Amino acid sequence: MNEIDNTFAEIATIIQEARENAYRKINEELILMYQRVGKFLSEKSREMNYGDGYIDSLAEYIQRQFPGIKGFNRRGLYRMKQFYETYAGNKKVAPLVTQCSWTNHLLIMSGSKSDEEREFYLRLTVKERYSKRQLERQMDSGYYERYMLSNKKLLPEPLQPQQNPFLDSYVVEFLDLPDAFHENDFRRALVKGMRHLILELVFLGNMVFI
């Protein structure tokens, strides 16, 4: 590789690092939003003793305000509530939560049998930068159980690196982006979606549902 090629390679590295930083920031904002929505629902369910009717009404309201938005149906809202309650007050994993994609969070919550196993896979996912498929492979293989039983503490199975582990279907669906998009589209759509949804949720909290 000649000097010019080396220079080009440096530019490519700068671009790639900037792209990855953008994806991480987008993922962080999405996870924080899901956490806030989950906290909102958790607190309302305790304060007002709201049940399924409240969640159903909220899901319908969000669909009217944001037609076609994915992930905010009854099941999705309950997942956000579960997500918040799962990690609420856990200072050990708090710094890791926003470094994991929503898809991987769902896998970890549904596939772990204990708090210890959940924390184990969360730390492993962040450290190894696992995609959904990579995390599934490790969990399906029972890596946590094998690790705990191993005297030598087995290393995770080597997997092909994922270029953008945060870029999953939840990001694109929430932001309502076309198939072809750029980072600037991500940023504009994310800010717009977050602003509107949070304002509407605050307003909704003052309404009474059957």
- Asked if residue 86 has pLDDT above 50, the reply is yes
pLDDT band at 123 (very low <50, low <70, confident <90, very high): very high
pLDDT band at 210 (very low <50, low <70, confident <90, very high): very low
Domain ranges of the chain: 3-173+186-204
The stretch 84-92 carries a mean pLDDT of 92
Amino acid at 196: H
| pTM as predicted | 0.72
- Asked if residue 103 has pLDDT above 50, the reply is yes
Structure token digits, residue 44: 């309302």
pLDDT for position 78:
94
Residue pair 34/70 in contact (Cβ under 8 Å)? The answer is no
Distances (CA, A) of 24 to 29, 38, 69, 132, 171: 9, 21, 22, 16, 11
Burial per residue of 193-204, b for 16 or more beta-carbon CB atoms within 10 angstroms, e otherwise:
bbeebeebbeeb
Distances (CA, A) of 7 to 4, 16, 38: 5, 14, 47
Q: In this predicted model, which residue has the larger pLDDT, 208 or 158?
A: 158
- Asked if residue 208 has pLDDT above 50, the reply is no
Distances (CA, A) of 43 to 36, 39, 40, 47, 88: 11, 6, 5, 6, 12
The stretch 4-25 carries a mean pLDDT of 79
- Asked if residue 11 has pLDDT above 60, the reply is yes
pLDDT band at 207 (very low <50, low <70, confident <90, very high): very low
d(CA 138, CA 177): 31
